[in-house]
Amino acid sequence: MEQQLRTMQSEMDRTIQSVTDMKELDAIRIKYLGKKGELTVLLKQMGKLSAEEKPVIGKIVNETRAHFEDALQKRQAELKQAADTVRLEKERIDITVDRPAFRLGHRNPLQKTMEELEELFISMGYRVEEGPEVELVENNFDKLNTPLHHPSRDLSDTFYFSENTVLRTHTSPVQVRVMMRQEPPIRMVCTGRTFRFDDVDDTHSPMFHQIEGMVIDKNISMANLIDTLNVFVKRLLGEHTKTRFRPHYFPFTEPSAEVDVSCPHCHGDGCAACNFTGWSMELLGCGMVHPNVLRMCGIDPDVYSGFAFGMGIDRITMVKHGIPNIRLLYENDQRFLEQF
Ligand code: PHE
């Protein structure tokens, strides 16, 4: 029996070590210590032993049992730890944030066009001026010779702050401000936001952008205006670009004109893009500064004369880049902005 016990013990040790999960381990416990387990059965046979054998074998049986339980417990702890490690690894969540490399943004295409236009005029000797977006009615209309009944003064066309302040409807009041504070010669441009009571559609927005230009000096004539704008348009849209001056009316210039440019696709031959007219867009308004305006701004029209022009920057930006919808310029959609 002693021999049997020793064999059983080494066999137990081996099987316990080879076990890889709790179920198997439990099966082994039952195999030896269960009601019909091998060790239990041996224990039950103890009664048949002689009085001398009993204490000797009893001791070995108890040792075997203790050893076995000990080994079982140890193995159980090992298996639990191994299982925990596997589980932890599996359930691991990476809470570190993968910080993207610093990305430097860039200007809105509108802003780019504005700066490009300013640069162009700076290179021709113009100074860049600024004026407020909330403007006096006096500067926005009165001093620009705008008759009291003129439709642009209407509440349905202009955002009024009060009876005498508006959101400027064009950049022309900056002409007034510059003339009021500076003696000729004057050569200025000004870019900025302008506002009109328009519904939003693909080509209109109640907030848009203009660039204004003005030259005041002795002997400034319409010829200077036409030449200046021709140089400007060619630099902006390419050497092949032709201009067409159409008579027009503005209260603050006389004579006044609207300027069209030749179609950038067919260069004036006529194509589907320009409705076979050869002319693509009405680019700007211009004219000789009205003597009334000069007078109201403190400049003697018998000594000085000048020209002025104004144009929408949004439209130029759209034509230049083939942008079909003005909303895109204001929506801050990165998918759009990243293309520039
Ligand atoms: N202010 C005019 C407009 O907004 C444009 C313009 C400016 C016309 C200067 C003539 C001279 O339509």
Q: How far is the CA of 250 from the centre of ligand 1 (A)?
A: 7
- Checking if the pLDDT of 1 tops 80, the result is no
Distance in Å, CA 205 to ligand 1 centroid: 18
**pLDDT level of residue 19 (50, 70, 90 thresholds):** confident
pLDDT tens string 322-334: 898 999 999 988 8
Q: How many CB atoms lie within 10 A of CB 107?
A: 12
pLDDT of residue 273: 80
220-241 confidence digits (pLDDT tens): 999 999 999 999 999 988 899 9
Whether 281 shows a pLDDT value over 90: the answer reads no
Q: How far is the CA of 311 from the centre of ligand 1 (A)?
A: 7
Instruction: Point out the ligand 1 atom lying closest to the alpha carbon of residue 285.
Output: 8
Binned at pLDDT 50, 70 and 90, residue 40 comes out as confident
Query: Mean pLDDT of all residues in the chain?
Result: 91
* Domain assignments of the chain as residue spans, ordered by start: 2-90, 109-337
Of the listed ranges 49-63, 274-288, 314-328, the one predicted with least confidence: 49-63
> Does the Cβ of 208 fall within 6 Å of ligand 1?
no
Q: Is 309 in the pocket of ligand 1 (CB under 6 A)?
A: yes
Gyration radius from the chain CA atoms: 46
The tens digit of pLDDT for each residue in 131-159 reads: 999 999 999 999 999 999 999 999 889 99
Question: Can you tell me which atom of ligand 1 is nearest the CA of 171?
Answer: 1
At 139 the pLDDT is 98
287 Cβ inside 6 Å of ligand 1: yes
Ligand 1 pocket residue status of 261, Cβ below 6 Å: no
Tell me, using a 6 A CB cutoff, whether residue 253 lines ligand 1: yes
Q: How far is the CA of 108 from the centre of ligand 1 (A)?
A: 24
Q: Which pLDDT tens digit goes with each residue over 175-186?
A: 999 999 999 999
List, as own/partner pairs, every contact residues 326-333 make where C-beta atoms lie below 8 angstroms and the sequence separation is at least 24, other chains included: 326/200, 326/202, 326/203, 326/204, 326/205, 326/208, 327/200, 327/202, 327/205, 329/108, 329/109, 329/110, 329/205, 330/205, 330/207
Q: Name the superfamily (CATH) of residues 109-337.
A: Bira Bifunctional Protein; Domain 2 (3.30.930.10)
CA of 284 to the centre of ligand 1 (A): 7
